[in-house]
Amino acid sequence: MSTETQEQLENREITNRYRALLRAMQDRADNDDRKLIRKAFKLAQDAHADVRRKSGEPYIFHPIEVAQIVAKEIGLGPVSVAAALIHDVVEDSDYTLEDIDRLFGEEIARIIDGLTKISGVFDQDISMQAENFRKMLLTISDDIRVIIIKLADRLHNMRTMESMPAHKQVKIASETLYLYAPLAHRLGLYNIKTELEDLSLRYTEPEVYRDILLKLKSSKADEIKYLKRFTTKIREELKKENFDFTIKERTKSIYSIRKKMINQGISFDEIYDKFAIRIILNSPPETEKADAWRVYSIVTDFYRPNPERLRDWISAPKSNGYESLHTTVMGPEGHWVEVQIRSERMDEVAEKGYAAHWKYKEDASGANKLDIWINQIREMLENNEGSALEFVNDFKLNLFGEEIYVFTPKGDLRILPAGATPLDFSFGIHTDIGLKTLGAKVNGRLVPLNYKLRSGDQIEILTSLKQKPKEDWLNYVVSAKAKSNIKSALKSERKEQAEEGKIILQRKLNYVKVKPSENLINEMVKYFGLKSSLDLYYRVGMGIIGNTQIKEFMRDQSQGFYSYLKNRILGKAKKDTSKAVQKEKKETQEKKILVFGNEETELDYKLAKCCSPIPGDDVFGYITSNEGIKVHRHSCPNAIYLQSNHAGRLIKAKWISTEKSEYTTVLVIRGIDTVGLVNKVTQIISNDLNVNIRSINIAGDEGVFEGLITVVVKDKIHLSKIIEKLKMIEGVSSVDRR
């Protein structure tokens, strides 16, 4: 095939994709809008001419597809689509922000400016750093469309990652799971969030992904057939009641199935609610709530509901605007089926998030909630004094996490992060109330300040003008606002105390005729093992360091305290040398089984306690700040966090031999409680397999049991044999490695 023919084919494909984009916009674009989109398309073509992606296809495919996601899957308008088409132009070509402003105006220039500021945070060959994420959030305050277009950009990159090197795939997928998928969820973009999670799992745990995908495919036909049968009676009754409706059958996403398998320690076959249907009603806004409950009544006339699985997000929508009525009912043949009931408006909001609220102008609640959320971010950014990583963790907890719904004494609804306490509630009402909190009543009963609130609780805060925040309050709160305000108040109080302490210390030193010079203060800071002069002054102000301690310091200094201390440490080191050499030799012998990097170099390392790797496990090294290399399993609970935030510190690791003969690992065993069960377990492990048990803890409750067994094994093959043997014991339903 000639180059010219290839070029013609590509040009035809570019034209087809561009026309598909215009078709996606036909319901919300007039002639001027189409001219704007064409102008942006032409600029993108010019800026990216002759540039190709890693896959070899023309680069222009990428901005067109990002614009298509923005237009069709999210439903934004012409300005956003035009911005999506030229989102990479300033970064990747000679066009400047001033050019964009001149050609497209201030609004689009502002969006492109926001996108350019955060470019490189995620797409360069560097780790996603927390500080950059904090900077990225600043752009939300300017225009939420910056983040939405960035989400579309990330989604298309995730869809087209096959041609990238494996290590980059893992890094980008980990970042996506860590921040982008939760961000999509928070903005109400449920479909995008689900696809980002599934695509991320495809690269972070490819074998697990393929296994679940194959099982879903093999059972899909039977499941759809079952759901058609399940909905027959419901369809007939809804038609009798003259409802205008659509019913969609759906299965759980691959990622949500994997998450449930891990959280509940169950197999794919044990997940009971893989079946789900969605009933979508064409109802006007004034009757949609009543209609949803009428449909609920019809469904539960035919099938028995599980009362613990009713979720009413119509009366109290989620903070991302999600509205729906969920119930789980027992269908034929003993299968649980999740039923979601919502109106067409609610369905569009559920799939397109805040963008859908702009379409339904009469519903201001979505826009209001978006404003509240952006204000929360602004508040967190302004009040945050901790490290960037602390900030990101607080942000995820408060703005991505599960929520509870509580009430003020007057009955006003407040949304708090799950795990919140009365202190979180009081700071949520007002900072001054939080700082003066003396106690709290929940549902009329006095409770401690660290009491975990639950949805439906009504809270009354008791205050006192004499009350001041305490250090342990930081252990009682989960919300970022409460944490930052408590830290700020404690810091302010500490500063006041330190200023007083400085005066006291100067007075005490003057009394013993010693001039309080900067050198002397630094010596005192070292002597008392403190970090700064502020810590020293604070302790003096609090009376922790008094006359006695100051006299001891003066005496030790006059005796050459530091040279004495140095000699003592050196002397101890000499005594311990032989032990240290022996220990080092032993460790060196044990550590020749792992090599690191492309050169397969032998380096010192430690096995991470969070996942206890053993030979045969798929592992990687993490270079810590002060403990050398820590080795983690790729399936470690902390792996996604490390791959996302510290990709630059990760190093390849590979098992080459098994000179060390013993490794400790923990097994989780579950099943039906039978007589002599513990005895059978210990007999098989100790006698039949000749394996050392470090600890065993099995507890039974109403006929079922769960236990943790710590065993010493040689490698992964050895461990697999133990697991298989244990699974054969009568009553044991599952054995998993923790």
Q: Are 140 and 374 in contact (CB under 8 A)?
A: yes
Exposure of 111 by Cβ count < 10 A (0-12 exposed, 13-18 middle, 19+ buried)? Answer: buried
Cα(454)–Cα(477) distance, rounded to whole angstroms?
14
- Alpha helix (H) residue ranges in 559-647: 561-575, 577-590, 639-645
Other Cβ atoms within 10 Å of 340 Cβ, number: 21
Residues 6+ apart with CB under 8 A from 654: 594, 595, 596, 600
Exposure of 27 by Cβ count < 10 A (0-12 exposed, 13-18 middle, 19+ buried)? Answer: exposed
Q: Are 612 and 666 in contact (CB under 8 A)?
A: yes
Nearest to 431 by CA among 392, 374, 469, 470: 469
State both tokens at 296.
């609920």
- Give the length of the chain: 738
Cα(656)–Cα(679) distance, rounded to whole angstroms?
37
Residue 191 Cα distances to 155, 187, 320, angstroms: 11, 11, 14
Residue type, 409: P
Cα(383)–Cα(479) distance, rounded to whole angstroms?
12
Strand partners, 458: 407
CA atoms within 13 A on the CB side of 5: 2
Backbone angles phi, psi at 479, to 5 degrees: -80, 145
Cα(634)–Cα(621) distance, rounded to whole angstroms?
10
**Catalytic residue set:** 91-92
Cα(552)–Cα(16) distance, rounded to whole angstroms?
84
Q: Are 703 and 685 in contact (CB under 8 A)?
A: no
Residues 6+ apart with CB under 8 A from 642: 622, 632, 649, 650
Cα(156)–Cα(55) distance, rounded to whole angstroms?
13
State both tokens at 377.
């971010």
- Alpha helix (H) residue ranges in 466-517: 480-511
State both tokens at 10.
């590509």
State both tokens at 253.
């996403």
Q: Are 43 and 89 in contact (CB under 8 A)?
A: yes
Residue type, 474: L
Q: Are 673 and 703 in contact (CB under 8 A)?
A: yes
∠ CA 53-57-62, rounded to 5°? 65
Q: Are 245 and 220 in contact (CB under 8 A)?
A: no
Per DSSP, the chain holds a count of helices (H) and strands (E) of 30, 20
**Three-class SS string for 399-435?**
HHCCEEEEECCCCCEEEEECCCCHHHHHHHHCHHHHH
Residue 391 Cα distances to 129, 150, 376, 712, angstroms: 12, 21, 13, 39
Nearest to 731 by CA among 675, 666, 668: 675
Q: What is the DSSP letter of 453?
A: P
End-to-end Cα separation, the chain, in angstroms: 55
